[in-house]
Structure 1
Amino acid sequence: MSIKFRLTLMSFLQFFVWGAWLITVGNYWFGTKQWSGEQFGAIFSTLGLSSIVMPALTGILADKWINAEKLYGILHIIGGLALCYIPQVENPTTFYYVIFLAMLCYMPTISLSNSVAYNILKNNNYDVVKVFPPIRVWGTVGFIAAMWITNLTGNKASSNMFYLSAFAAFALGLYSFSLPKCPPQKLIANDATFVEKFGLSAFKLFGTYKMALFFLFSMFLGGALQLTNMYGDVYLSEFSKVPEYANSFVVKYSTIIMSISQISETLFILAIPFFLKRFGIKQVMLLSMVAWVLRFGLLAFGNPIEGLWMIILSCIVYGMAFDFFNISGSLFVETTTDSKIRSSAQGLFMMMSNGFGAFFGGLVSGYVIDNFFTINGVRDWHNIWLTFSGYALVIAILFAIFFKHKHNPDEVANVSH
Structure 2
Amino acid sequence: MNKKIQFQLSFMMFLEFFIWGGWFVTLGTFLGNNLEATGAQSAMAFSTQSWGAIIAPFIIGLIADRYFNAERILGVLHIIGAILMYLMYQSTDFGAFYPYVLAYMIAFMPTLALVNSISFNQMTDPGKQFSFVRVFGTIGWIVAGSVISYLAWDSSENIAQGMLKNTFLMTAIVSAALGIFSFTLPKTPPKINKEEKASISEILGLDALKLLKDRNFLLFFISSVLICIPLAFYYQNASPFLTEIGVENSTFKMSFGQMSEVLFMLLLPFFFKKFGFKKTILAGMLAWTLRYVLFAFGDSGDLVFMLIIGIALHGLCYDFFFVSGQIYTDSKAGAKYKSAAQGLITLATYGVGMLIGFEIAGMISDKFLIAEGSHDWYSIWIYPAGFALAVAVLFAIFFKDEKIEYKEQ
Compute the TM-score of the two structures, normalised by the length of structure 1. Answer: 0.92
Q: CA deviation at 1:188?
A: 5.7
Q: CA deviation at 1:180?
A: 1.5
Confirm or deny that 1:392 pairs with 2:388.
yes
Confirm or deny that 1:220 pairs with 2:229.
no
Residue number in structure 1 paired with 2:371:
376
Distance 1:63 1:83 in 2: 27
Q: CA deviation at 1:238?
A: 0.9
Distance 1:145 1:386 in 2: 31
Residue number in structure 2 paired with 1:108:
110
Q: RMSD of the alignment, in Å?
A: 1.6
Confirm or deny that 1:84 pairs with 2:80.
no
Residue number in structure 2 paired with 1:73:
75
Distance 1:355 1:199 in 2: 13
User: 1:235 is matched by which residue type in structure 2?
Assistant: F
Residue number in structure 1 paired with 2:235:
229
8 Å CA contact 1:291, 1:321 repeated in 2: yes
Distance 2:33 2:201 in 1: 45
Distance 2:57 2:166 in 1: 29
Can you list the C-alpha shifts for 1:195-233, whole angstroms capped at 9, x where unaligned?
Answer: 334432112323333222221111111122232222112
Distance 2:232 2:146 in 1: 19
Distance 2:142 2:87 in 1: 24
Confirm or deny that 1:93 pairs with 2:95.
yes
Of 129, 132, 141 in structure 2, the residue corresponding to residue 131 of structure 1 is 129
Distance 1:306 1:169, change over 3 A: same
Distance 1:386 1:199, change over 3 A: closer
Residue number in structure 1 paired with 2:49:
47
Confirm or deny that 1:210 pairs with 2:204.
no
Distance 1:278 1:416 in 2: 16
Partner SS state of residue 375, structure 1: strand
- Larger deviation: 221-230 or 168-177? 221-230
Q: CA deviation at 1:270?
A: 0.3
Partner SS state of residue 252, structure 1: coil
Confirm or deny that 1:3 pairs with 2:5.
yes
Residue number in structure 2 paired with 1:145:
143
8 Å CA contact 1:26, 1:234 repeated in 2: yes
Aligned-residue sequence identity (percent) comes to 36
Compute the TM-score of the two structures, normalised by the length of structure 2. Answer: 0.93
Q: CA deviation at 1:330?
A: 0.5
8 Å CA contact 2:67, 2:194 repeated in 1: no
Confirm or deny that 1:313 pairs with 2:309.
yes
Distance 1:30 1:193 in 2: 42
Structure 1 portions without partners, runs of 5+:
241-250
Distance 2:85 2:240 in 1: 21
Confirm or deny that 1:161 pairs with 2:167.
yes
Partner SS state of residue 299, structure 2: coil
Structure 2 portions without partners, runs of 5+:
none
Of 180, 198, 201 in structure 2, the residue corresponding to residue 195 of structure 1 is 201
Of 276, 279, 290 in structure 2, the residue corresponding to residue 280 of structure 1 is 276
Q: CA deviation at 1:191?
A: 4.0
Distance 2:196 2:90 in 1: 44
> How many residues get paired?
398
